[in-house]
Amino acid sequence: MAIFGFKPKTDEVLDHWISFADGLSLPPQEFYAAVEKALADRKIPSMEVSRVEHAEGGLLSGKRLYLRMLRERLAFDTCASPFGNTYFFSCRTVHSPAVLRLWHLAVAFVFFAVVYSLLARLLGLTFANIAMVALLIAIAEVFRNAVGMGLADLDNTLMKIPVVGPIYENWFRKETYYREDTRLAYLNIVPAIIKNVAEDMSGSKGIKLVEQYERAPIFGELYKRLPPRKTGPEK
């Protein structure tokens, strides 16, 4: 499948940090509510905030509540929880790539085949062909210019639709300087807010937050260190 450009991918953790507050007693929901308020005050556009549960272990294990911030394909999962006689705050930056698979194209083909069949019955083959070409052009134009046409909400909606989302992002959605800049702003602002709230809530109880980091580069392989170049005797 890789030769057709459909290499399977999974969610990738781009960045992860954890901080500890010894002796802190704090309901996680109180921390999440404070983070939600701070995020609302910043009015970050096109971001969805929700509370999700992740399993602590296998299928039958308990669940741990996390706060998730999602914008486009980038999410932050933050957790606040006691651990023995200490307390920790963690935050992960997760990227969910828009993976285009062969079955997406098969579903799209079947959909347009059904539409063409209906048009042929109603209009005849000649007008059905014309209508089908016009429909494909119209869809392509809307996909290419969703934001430029003032349809930012449509852009977000298209990305979330199964089958349509990967096709839209891989073939039609343009990458621009503005999208790159706003993505970087999002990647910097949200973790800073989470960290500040954790520091404030710990400090209000007279407990110092001890930061421990386990980081991966935001752009993964893009900034991977290269081995030194081997040089031989000049000829």
Question: What backbone phi and psi angles, to 5 degrees, belong to 8?
Answer: -60, 140
Q: Which of 69, 87, 91, 68 is CA-nearest to residue 27?
A: 87
58: which DSSP letter? S
139-167 per-position pLDDT tens digit: 888 888 765 655 566 777 888 888 888 88
State the pLDDT at residue 114: 93
Residue 120 binned pLDDT confidence (cut-offs 50, 70, 90) = very high
Q: What are the contacts of 199-202 at 24+ separation with CB within 8 A? A: 200/34, 201/26, 201/30, 201/31, 201/34, 202/21, 202/24
Q: Between residues 36 and 219, which one has the greater pLDDT?
A: 36
Sequence-ordered list of residues with C-beta below 8 angstroms from that of 53, at least 6 positions apart, any chain: 63, 64, 65, 66
HEC sequence for 114-183: HHHHHHHHHHCHHHHHHHHHHHHHHHHHHHHCCCCCCCHHHHHHHHHCCCHHHHHHHHHCCCCHHHHHHH
10-24 per-position pLDDT tens digit: 788 888 899 999 989
